Amino acid sequence: MEDKTKIRFTAAEMSSLWTQYINDSVSICVLAYFLNHAKDPEVKEVIDFGLKASEKNITIAREIFALEGFPQPIGFTKKDVNEHAPRLFSDTFMMMYLRYMSILGMAANSGAIGLCTRQDVIAFHKSVLKSAIGLQDKTRELMLSQGTYIRPPFISVPDKVDFVEKQSFLSGLKNRRRALTSVEITHLFMNIQTNQIGKALIMGFLQVAQDKEVKGYLQRGKKIAQKHVDLFSDILKTNDIPAPMFWDSAVTDSTTQVFSDKLIMFHITAMIAAGIGNYGAAISASPRKDIGVHYASLIPEIALYAEDGANIMIKNAWLEEPPMADDRDQLAGQ
């Protein structure tokens, strides 16, 4: 019987394994630092769970790379983190961060399972997905018990099943705007939270970054995140829906370098990429035209910001190249 693990990597398998490896190498740096500074024993336990999951993922990925003769990515190492630098983030922020990362992990690996073919690669992503779900459960349960979990807004249960009868359901004109749907509220809430987490992370990074150009880039990102939080919050408030709280107080006053500028830049650009995906999903789920227009107008802004970040990384030789297709013209000597 044919050994299915001997089938060549598809592009989907290469990209999912490579991306997961890089992301886990970042997670190991960040979570090792968090673990060294968390004060609450229960928070430490959750961080340790996430750290061990990332270390396990790296080990399995290396085995698959070796089996295929695939060059192991460099990613990020202990050189990119000072685990003993002073505390930069609160325990509450660490939990919020872990919860958000688990959401990204669940989304990425469920998608990878649907695209991959090789059984060993599928088994790997199932294992990562299981760990991400476990991390989500642990963060949710602990935050609920500690009173730090922020639920999405409550709305009234419908009295009956109904159908849309008027085109005004799609209208975004001020005098014809309908109430928000539950799906629109959910996406607005999620995008407020992710921008708040991103802003708090940027604030911490801004205090410890070393390169002047990186600091300028982070300062710009902080303003963009706040702008997006304000816009989405205003939409909710205008519709008498509460907006989630801010997390600015989650950052200490430490200015000692914790992470390398290379790691900082990668982390921020990766979060921007996730944000663009979130906005795209929100557009497709928001029939009210004014909301869709808001998302559509913000995507170019953050896409340009991401491009500028990539240029900084390229300039400093920080951007590791992902697997690429053969350039046939180059191979032909053209």
Measure the CA–CA gap between 86 and 41, rounded to whole angstroms. Answer: 18
149, two tokens: 């979990």
CB atoms within 10 A of CB 35: 18
CA trace torsion 274, 66, 68, 328 (10° rounding) = 70
Domains of the chain, earliest start first: 9-146 (1.20.1260.10), 177-315 (1.20.1260.10)
Measure the CA–CA gap between 225 and 206, rounded to whole angstroms. Answer: 14
- Measured at the CA of 169, the angle between CA 168 and CA 172, to 5 degrees, comes to 70
How far is CA 145 from its chain centroid? 25
171, two tokens: 């209208």
DSSP E strands in the chain: the ranges are: none
- Measured at the CA of 292, the angle between CA 290 and CA 295, to 5 degrees, comes to 110
Measure the CA–CA gap between 278 and 133, rounded to whole angstroms. Answer: 19
Give the per-residue SS3 of 129-198: HHHHHHHHHHHHHHHHHHCCCCCCCCCCCCCCCCCCCCHHHCCCCHHHCCCCCHHHHHHHHHHHHHHHHH
Spatial CA neighbour of 210 closest among 256, 250, 271, 252: 256
pLDDT of residue 216: 98
- Tell me the backbone φ, ψ of residue 251, rounded to 5 degrees: -105, 130
**Hey, which residues does 89 pair with through a beta bridge?**
251
pLDDT of residue 1: 47
Whether residue 200 contacts residue 250, with contact meaning beta carbons closer than 8 Å, is answered with yes
Whether residue 232 contacts residue 191, with contact meaning beta carbons closer than 8 Å, is answered with yes
- Sign of the dihedral through C-alpha 196, 197, 202, 207: positive
Amino acid at site 83? E
pLDDT of residue 161: 79
Residue with token string 């790997």: 124
pLDDT of residue 167: 65
Span between the terminal Cα atoms of the chain, in Å = 43
Q: Is the full-model pTM beyond 0.85?
A: yes
**211 three-class SS:** coil
**What burial class does residue 78 get, using C-beta atoms within 10 Å of its C-beta: 0-12 exposed, 13-18 middle, 19+ buried?**
exposed
Task: Spell out the residues 6+ positions from residue 306 whose beta carbon is closer than 8 angstroms to its own.
Answer: 269, 272, 273, 276
CB atoms within 10 A of CB 329: 8
**Mean pLDDT, 10 residues at a time, the chain of 334 residues:** 68 95 98 97 98 98 93 96 96 95 96 95 97 97 93 88 72 71 94 94 96 98 96 93 77 96 97 94 90 94 96 96 79 72
- Tell me the backbone φ, ψ of residue 89, rounded to 5 degrees: -125, 150
- Tell me the backbone φ, ψ of residue 86, rounded to 5 degrees: -60, 160
Spatial CA neighbour of 26 closest among 307, 192, 262, 332: 262
Measure the CA–CA gap between 106 and 217, rounded to whole angstroms. Answer: 29
